[in-house]
Amino acid sequence: MHRRTLVSRTLAVLAVLVSLGASAAGTSRLAAAEPATPVAPVAATTGEVRGYLDAHSHLMSYEGFGGRIFCGKTFDPEGIEKALKDCSDHGVAGAFAWFENFTRHGHPFGTHDAVGYPTFKDWPANDSFTHQQSYYKWLERSWRGGQRILVNQMVTNRVLCEVYPLKKYPCDEMGSIRLQVKRTQELEAYIDKEHGGPGKGWFRIARNPTEARGIIAQGKLAVVLGIETSEPFGCTGTPERPGCTKAEIDQGLDEMRDLGISSMFLCHKFDNALCGVRFDEGALGGILNLGNVLSAGRFWQADTCTGPAHDHTISPSGDLAALLAGPLKALRPVGITMPVYPKPPHCNPVGLTALGEHMVRGMMKRGMIIEVDHMSVKAADQTLRILEDAGYSGVISGHSWTDPTYTRRVYGVGGMMTSYGHRADGFVGQWRKDKASRDERYLFGYGYGLDANGMGTLPPVRPNNAENPVRYPFTSPFDPGVTLDRAKTGSRTWDVNKEGVAHYGLVPDWMKDMQNIAGNEIINDLALGAESYLQMWQRATSHSAQP
């Protein structure tokens, strides 16, 4: 890699970081009699499993991106003091935490309390991207509150790893994925040990829907393994100059299934040899465009859309840019691209490539769940056509990053939509929109993609919540046998009315807040989220088993 100035390095890292948006001795405090063993499931009247679903979070992203961007771990065998501490390079009072400051405040200057456990004065917080948000005891509080499925997305990005000045691991994306799977298995064993031995813990990795249903029937959390990365199987480059082959894709899919991976993205943030990406917009998109050069070898391309679906707008565009964009378009076939674009709405002309179609069909053959978020609208359209022709249900938009005109088509094949972790009133609005597009042939359940530790904000405080706040302690909307008080770790106590979802443990409080403003209808749909996901997954695996 050529040497970069500190300024250019900082800008590139900042852009990718923002976009990749990826207790003390007990759980955050429950009722006076907190159970020491897995809680019993609450069955719906129809016999389905009951519990809520997170379709998109990142428990092990602290090991991604070279392993030095995140502060803190999901767990540490030596205890919470080791797991929840600040990054050593943040310095005294966080004075050197330029990365944290950029993502949280928009500039490289600032300070924060660097102590971590047990005081947690400044973090975790819903807008602190580089500090741990998913410590396993916080996740345990959510499980006790009624969560039954977590899709743990292994995530990394070679470009971000290479431009970030600190790292402890190589930047190979698939190597990082393997490490994160290993850490997830270690967490399962660690929790098992806390609860009496192998198989005793509440955190269980599920390799197929039958295993997941059995885990949930025991009242435990079924953890599904997924991948969200920009260069799966080394598939960098462009359709004309791909960095991978069909044989490498087949080999990679087989290895991932052997590791227990059940859900995958084809592209993320940058074009690759499999599909075009859905752009980020504004100044952030402009800098990510430079990252596309580092990953794919060229700038993003965009045409003015002719249909209702479109990707996000990128700059510069408009009348003057349009005058230049037309002649420059003729240079694309010879590999010359410039960051100048026609009038919006913009559509990425790169869709699903031949290699991308091969991977989609390979995932279908293996009963895997296809993630359509981050695909260009052209690529998503082509992928959905393949699924529609085959009658394949294994597809999900897990965190609101696909064009809303495709919602009916996802539901139409028996797939699933879940919303990003917006603040409570915004999430309710998205749920209502998605529910209006449901397909009555399939069970409707809803979920969320919190994107915890995905370098995006967690749900903030709902404005004007004084009229109907979450009142502590409260009964879980999903299990009348569970009462939750304010979440507490060490000497720090959190209140969702004042701090939003500062870490994963406040998810039940966030859902109680949604119940306050939308009633039991949304709770009933969220309670069927796990069942809806399992039925979708089962249809996918049954399809793959057909001769």
pLDDT tens digit sequence for 15-43: 443 334 433 333 333 433 333 333 343 33
- Is the pLDDT score of 449 beyond 80? yes
Q: How do residues 146-173 score in pLDDT, each as one tens digit?
A: 999 999 999 999 998 998 888 999 999 9
Residues 6+ apart with CB under 8 A from 103: 14, 17, 18, 129, 130, 455
Q: How far is Cα 387 from Cα 390, in angstroms, rounded to an integer?
A: 5
Residue with tokens 């897990």: 398
337 pLDDT higher than 80? no
Which pLDDT band, with edges at 50, 70 and 90, does 80 fall under? very high
Q: Among residues 261, 226, 286, 366, which one has the least CA distance to residue 18?
A: 286
359 with 334: CB under 8 angstroms?
Answer: no
**pLDDT tens for each residue of 465-498:** 999 999 999 999 999 999 999 999 999 999 999 9
Mean pLDDT of 189-199: 97
- Convert the pLDDT of each residue in 216-242 to its tens digit: 999 999 999 999 999 999 999 988 899
**Which pLDDT score, from 0 to 100, does residue 47 have?**
53
End-to-end CA distance of the chain: 48
| DSSP class of 304 | E
Q: Which residue has the tokens 């939509």?
A: 417
Residue 23, pLDDT score: 31
Judged against a pLDDT cut of 60, whether residue 512 lies above it is answered with yes
403: pLDDT strictly greater than 60: yes
- Closest Cα to residue 546, out of 362, 367, 416, 410? 367
The pLDDT of residue 249 is 98
Please give the average per-residue pLDDT across 106-118, as a whole number: 79
Among 246-260, 295-309, 345-359, the minimum mean pLDDT is found in 295-309
Q: What are the structural domains, with CATH classification, of the chain? A: 6-272+352-449 (3.20.20), 301-346 (no CATH)
Structure tokens at 475: 């009964």
What's the pLDDT score for residue 370? Answer: 98
Q: Over pLDDT 90: what percentage of the chain? A: 72
- Looking at residue 5, its pLDDT comes to 34
Percent of the chain with pLDDT over 70: 84
With cut-offs at 50, 70 and 90, classify the pLDDT of residue 283: low
Provide the pLDDT for residue 284: 67
**Counting beta carbons within 10 angstroms of the beta carbon of residue 492, is it exposed (0 to 12), middle (13 to 18) or buried (19 or more)?**
middle
Q: How confident is the model at residue 115 (pLDDT cuts 50, 70, 90)?
A: confident
Task: State the pLDDT confidence band at 338, using cuts at 50, 70 and 90.
Answer: low
Distance between CA atoms of 523 and 519, rounded to whole angstroms?
7
Residue 347's pLDDT band (cuts 50, 70, 90): very high
